[in-house]
Chains A and B, each alone.
Chain A
Amino acid sequence: MSTTTEVHEEHTTQEEVERLAHPKRPLKARIGVIGSYVGMIAIVLYCIIPFYWMVVSSLRLPTEGRSTELIPSPISLENFQAVFSAQNNFGRSLINSVIVAGTTTILTLLFGIIGAYALARLRFRGKGAVLWLIMACSMFPLVVLLPPLLKMFSSTEPFTWFPYWINTYQSVIIPGLSFALPLAVWNLTAFFKQLPVELEQAAMVDGCTPGVAFRKVILPLAAPGVFTTAIIVFIGAWNEFLLALTFLQDASMQTATVAISKFTGTTGFDTPYGTIMAAGVLVTVPLIIAVLLFQRRIVAGLTAGGVK
């Protein structure tokens, strides 16, 4: 009698141990976890599949531009060779893109850093108005700039005094600042605000002027933020299309985005999809690598810009 109860007791304790070892999640929560993983896979596929299609289409034979096979057979790099054929001028346009986007980024940071520092740290009359001005500047449609600037840069009638700026880098870089600078100021202000003001106070107690405190203390600490802003602005300028399309009409001055949009096949009738996709991959892959390497920072920067 006593032994059976003992066994029984033993049995229950074992069960209890097992239950403690594997805590039972409620069924609903488990479904929730599985569901969220399924959802995450769906999100990734949603984002990646069209891009995958671009990549595989670039790896087909040029004659199979419209093929709908999931995996190209045979895999061919001919499209990539075709991108750099003389008629497309693509190598040149990549250099143009680097020059335009690089200069825009540097100028933007030069002006943006000091302006953003003032907005993040100093308290002054009219600050709200300045913030609204910068915000409004990032809102307005770029196409508003086109009619007067097109007239001015091509030095037609009332602007005959103005130098002929069509097909020059500055015709894209300078108007491009109108969207790049607000973006940079916005991001940098958010980054500067995250640094405690006590840092400068300590430096100033030690005898630094505000200028020196900014240069020696804040700027090094804000370097990651500056770097992130640089990437975001660079990508924005690299992807810019409307200004470049309007002001850079000469094939030797075109940026990569415009060049791709103007690719024609050798026959001139059929859209050379393979070549276009190959060029698209070439233009996009550096950006995607940068984005993957710095994704944490970029997301922080984007949310700082959009959500403060």
Chain B
Amino acid sequence: MATATAEPRSVPTTEGDGHKHKKNALSDGQGRLAWILLAPTLLVILVVAGIPVAMSIREAFFQTNTGVDPNTGMIAGGEIFVGLQNFTDIFRGQNPVVGNYGTMDRFWNAFLNTTFLTIVCVIIETILGVAMALIMAKAFRGRGIVRAGILVPWAIPTIVSALMWKLIFDSSGVMNRIIGREILWLADTGASFWAIVIADTWKTAAFIGLLTLAGLQTIPAEVYEAAKVDGATTWQQFVRITLPMVKPTLVVAVLFRTLDTLRMFDLPYGMIGAGKYRVETLSIFAYQEATQERYGPAAAYAIILFLYVLLVAFLFVKILGADVIGDADVPKKKKKRKGDQEPAGPPATGLEMAGGAH
């Protein structure tokens, strides 16, 4: 496993003796072949993602027409262009609900739920995940069993795990029996928020641990030996060696978890239900609007969520240097130096590309 993950990272070594990678036998003048091979994939992505997203953006500027047709006197049906109204309605507060943060528009309530759920879940998951990875890295035997155990929460369908936690958090369920109190976890109370956090953490903390472990295993033992010789304490080793060296892996893992949590749907829907304002996420809100044929507002909320996700991803790449692409073959956008002059720099290609792409 360790080698499997280490491999792609060590690919850039060919970059050191620059001439070699230019002479890749398969790559000379085969840009056309590449595009032919990629065409099916790109076409599918265009059809199943590109076009629907474009349609969704268009949809966000329309509303279902419920007015009366002046000629026939029937309900007009169809759709009418409303400009930015679906977006500006968010600020009108026409749909106040009571959530965790007092009375506010349903959109903002969902927005805050999504944000706080993501922040709380990701922080807890990261801490637990890193702790797990450190423990697993120390062990000599039994790693296989732990890895198998860790994959169990990952393999369970989210909706099944939601129902499982629903039983655990039932008012007369086992959680209340353990803590010896009668908390109404599922009744759309403040406790519901924490029930979701616990369930989500359970399903994914171990996963972060697994990814972090892969990163830990690429750190050479010599580094620690050198630090020990220099008299570094365990804590210093952790802060000065482990964290910086595992950071590229960890940042990517945390980024993926963050994006996943931002679009959370199954867990609150299955555990607490739809239309429960204490745990309603943007995905649930948009889903509800869409299924009630309020397509325009639904599209507007979904687009806002999409932009939110893009912004978070962008910040991760810009500020934390998440190297999501990590492809040494992607040429740097600036100047192309002669191969042998090129320093074998860190794999920061993804970062560079992001700067260009957005």
Interfacial residues, chain A to chain B (CB-CB below 8 A): 32-33, 35-37, 39-40, 43-44, 46-48, 50-51, 53-54, 57, 65-66, 68, 110-112, 114-115, 117-119, 121-125, 127-137, 139-152, 156-158, 174-175, 177-178, 181-182, 185, 190, 193-194, 197, 200-201, 204, 210, 235, 238-239, 241-242, 246, 257-258, 260-261, 271, 273, 276-277, 280, 283-284, 287-288, 290-292, 295-296, 298-300, 302-304, 306-308
Partner of B302, one of A146, A185, A193, A241: A146
Known: A53-B174, A141-B302. 13 other contacts (CB 8 A): A57-B167, A114-B38, A124-B35, A134-B41, A143-B283, A146-B287, A147-B295, A148-B56, A148-B58, A257-B159, A283-B157, A291-B148, A298-B151
Tell me whether A277 and B167 are in contact (CB under 8 A): yes
With A241-B265, A288-B152 as contacts: A177 and B44 at CB distance below 8 Å = yes
Tell me whether A299 and B147 are in contact (CB under 8 A): yes
Tell me whether B309 and A141 are in contact (CB under 8 A): yes
Tell me whether B42 and A130 are in contact (CB under 8 A): yes
With A143-B287, A146-B290, A291-B155 as contacts: A181 and B138 at CB distance below 8 Å = no
Q: Please tell me if B221 contacts chain A, counting CB pairs below 8 Å.
A: no
Cα distance, A246 to B9, chains bound together (Å): 41
CB distance from A28 to the nearest CB of B (A): 9
> Which residues in B have their C-beta under 8 angstroms from that of A147?
56, 59, 286, 289-290, 295-296, 298-299, 302
Tell me whether A36 and B148 are in contact (CB under 8 A): no
Q: What sequence of 0s and 1s flags, for each residue 266-290 of chain B, a beta carbon within 8 Å of any chain A beta carbon?
A: 1001100000000000110011011
Listed by A's residue number, 8 A-B pairs whose Cβ atoms lie within 8 Å are A114-B37, A144-B306, A177-B48, A260-B159, A280-B156, A295-B144, A302-B211, A307-B252
Tell me whether A130 and B53 are in contact (CB under 8 A): no
* Interface SS of chain B: helix
With A307-B249, A308-B326 as contacts: A140 and B53 at CB distance below 8 Å = yes
Tell me whether A140 and B309 are in contact (CB under 8 A): yes
Determine which residue in B24, B174, B305, B357 has the highest number of CB atoms from chain A within 10 A of its CB, and name it.
B174
Partner of A280, one of B164, B286, B296, B306: B164
> Which residues in B have their C-beta under 8 angstroms from that of A145?
49, 52-53, 56
Tell me whether B31 and A150 are in contact (CB under 8 A): no
Tell me whether B79 and A115 are in contact (CB under 8 A): no
Tell me whether A40 and B135 are in contact (CB under 8 A): yes
Tell me whether B56 and A144 are in contact (CB under 8 A): yes
Tell me whether A142 and B37 are in contact (CB under 8 A): no
Tell me whether A306 and B139 are in contact (CB under 8 A): no
Cα distance, A246 to B265, chains bound together (Å): 12
Spot the interface stretch: B89-97, B115-123, B237-245, B256-264: B256-264
Tell me whether A130 and B27 are in contact (CB under 8 A): no
Tell me whether B4 and A303 are in contact (CB under 8 A): yes
Q: Please tell me if B33 contacts chain A, counting CB pairs below 8 Å.
A: yes
> Which residues in A have their C-beta under 8 angstroms from that of B170?
66, 273
Q: What sequence of 0s and 1s flags, for each residue 44-67 of chain B, a beta carbon within 8 Å of any chain A beta carbon?
A: 110111001101101100000000
Tell me whether A118 and B34 are in contact (CB under 8 A): yes
Partner of B167, one of A53, A193, A303: A53
**Which partner residue on chain A sits nearest B8 by CB separation?**
A308
Cα distance, A261 to B323, chains bound together (Å): 38
> Which residues in B have their C-beta under 8 angstroms from that of A308?
8-9, 252, 323, 326
Cα distance, A258 to B202, chains bound together (Å): 22
Cα distance, A152 to B266, chains bound together (Å): 24
Cα distance, A255 to B9, chains bound together (Å): 39
Tell me whether B172 and A66 are in contact (CB under 8 A): yes
Tell me whether A307 and B211 are in contact (CB under 8 A): yes
Cα distance, A124 to B33, chains bound together (Å): 9
Q: Please tell me if B132 contacts chain A, counting CB pairs below 8 Å.
A: yes
Tell me whether A280 and B206 are in contact (CB under 8 A): no
> Which residues in A have their C-beta under 8 angstroms from that of B174?
53, 68
Q: What sequence of 0s and 1s flags, for each residue 10-29 of chain B, a beta carbon within 8 Å of any chain A beta carbon?
A: 01000000000000111100
> Which residues in B have their C-beta under 8 angstroms from that of A139?
259, 309-310, 313
Cα distance, A144 to B173, chains bound together (Å): 36
Cα distance, A255 to B215, chains bound together (Å): 37
Cα distance, A147 to B10, chains bound together (Å): 44
Q: What sequence of 0s and 1s flags, for each residue 159-183 of chain B, a beta carbon within 8 Å of any chain A beta carbon?
A: 1110111111010111001000000
Cα distance, A112 to B168, chains bound together (Å): 40
CB distance from B125 to the nearest CB of A (A): 12
Tell me whether A37 and B142 are in contact (CB under 8 A): yes
Partner of A144, one of B1, B77, B305: B305
Cα distance, A33 to B78, chains bound together (Å): 69
CB distance from B137 to the nearest CB of A (A): 9
CB distance from A145 to the nearest CB of B (A): 5
Tell me whether B357 and A129 are in contact (CB under 8 A): yes
Q: Please tell me if B353 contacts chain A, counting CB pairs below 8 Å.
A: yes
CB distance from A70 to the nearest CB of B (A): 9
Q: Please tell me if B253 contacts chain A, counting CB pairs below 8 Å.
A: yes
CB distance from A186 to the nearest CB of B (A): 10
Cα distance, A145 to B41, chains bound together (Å): 19
Tell me whether B8 and A123 are in contact (CB under 8 A): no
Tell me whether B52 and A114 are in contact (CB under 8 A): no
Tell me whether B148 and A190 are in contact (CB under 8 A): no
Tell me whether B27 and A33 are in contact (CB under 8 A): no
> Which residues in A have their C-beta under 8 angstroms from that of B210?
299, 302-303
Cα distance, A290 to B152, chains bound together (Å): 11
Partner of A142, one of B4, B34, B149, B263: B263
Q: Please tell me if B188 contacts chain A, counting CB pairs below 8 Å.
A: no
